Amino acid sequence: MSRTWTRDELAARIDHTLLDPAATNHEILLACEIARRNHCATVCLNSNRIAMASEALQGSDVGIAAVVGFPFGASHVDAKAHEAALAIADGATEIDMVIDIGRLKDGQLGPVRADIASVVAAADFHAVKVILECSRLTEDEKRTGCALAVEAGAAFIKTSTGYLGHGATLHDVVLIREAVGPTLGIKASGGILYYEDAVAMLDAGATRLGMSHTQQVLDSIQA
């Protein structure tokens, strides 16, 4: 039976997300303000906006997640690691990296593991979320991606970028939870538009939610 989440409890599980490459300074600052006033877990932004967010959120309880190798995961391994290191230097507290989707599908497990491990090392003990892009993977590929991420030291598995195919599904959250066990973080991201969507993802095993409709969802909760 689904539990009832209060506004504050749900907000604490949300990465309020703005990854539109055309987002203006005003829109980035507004996203930071939404995350701040609702006490979200983080605001999730492209890496070129992290320094601005760090300044805007100074003194708040909101973390800052930077996406790396986004949205396709096809960047050079050294470029991903360098982007992660720069984001941490600019004030990021978490890194959301896209897995090397093509090499995973080719079965090149060593390079995929090394790609993740390089970002984990560059993140310097900050949490790394590994984005699988579930819409482009088979069930076995998803499980393999989970295993490689765990081996490489990831703190979370994330379902999707929201840019390739469908976003988070309950099926994928359940599959990931079964693959990684009870303790690793799972971030459901993409297509979470309503309170009921958010609760369903948490009930299925997600521990974090990537959402751009944060204010709409939180405002729908009865006090």
Q: How far apart are CA 204 and CA 185, in angstroms?
A: 12
Phi, psi of 221 (to 5 degrees): -80, 130
- For range 103-107, the mean pLDDT: 98
- Residue pair 13/41 in contact (Cβ under 8 Å)? The answer is yes
Return the domain boundaries, the chain: 66-219
Among 159, 107, 105, which Cα is nearest to 129's? 159
Looking at 80, 129, 142, 158, which residue is catalytic? 158
105 is a catalytic site residue: no
Q: Residue 83: CA atoms inside 13 Å, Cβ hemisphere, count?
A: 25
pLDDT at 106: 98
158 is a catalytic site residue: yes
Looking at 96, 100, 115, 197, which residue is catalytic? 96
- Residue pair 40/10 in contact (Cβ under 8 Å)? The answer is no
Residue pointed to by tokens 């984990």: 120
- Cβ neighbour number for residue 173 with a 10 Å cutoff: 24
pLDDT at 174: 98
Q: Is the pTM of this model over 0.95?
A: yes
Structure tokens at 96: 């959301």
Q: How far apart are CA 201 and CA 207, in angstroms?
A: 8
pLDDT digits (tens, 9 = 90+) for 186-214: 999 999 999 999 999 999 999 999 999 99
Structure tokens at 194: 């309503």
Structure tokens at 185: 């973080």
Among 91, 103, 162, 173, which Cα is nearest to 133's? 162
Say whether pLDDT at 223 is over 60.
Answer: no
129 is a catalytic site residue: no
Looking at 15, 80, 187, 197, which residue is catalytic? 187
- Tell me which architecture the domain covering 66-219 has in CATH: Alpha-Beta Barrel (3.20)
166 SS3 class: coil
Secondary structure percentages of the chain, helix, strand, coil, to 5: 50, 15, 35
pLDDT digits (tens, 9 = 90+) for 45-63: 999 999 999 999 999 999 9
Share of the chain above pLDDT 90, in %: 96
pLDDT digits (tens, 9 = 90+) for 60-74: 999 999 999 999 999
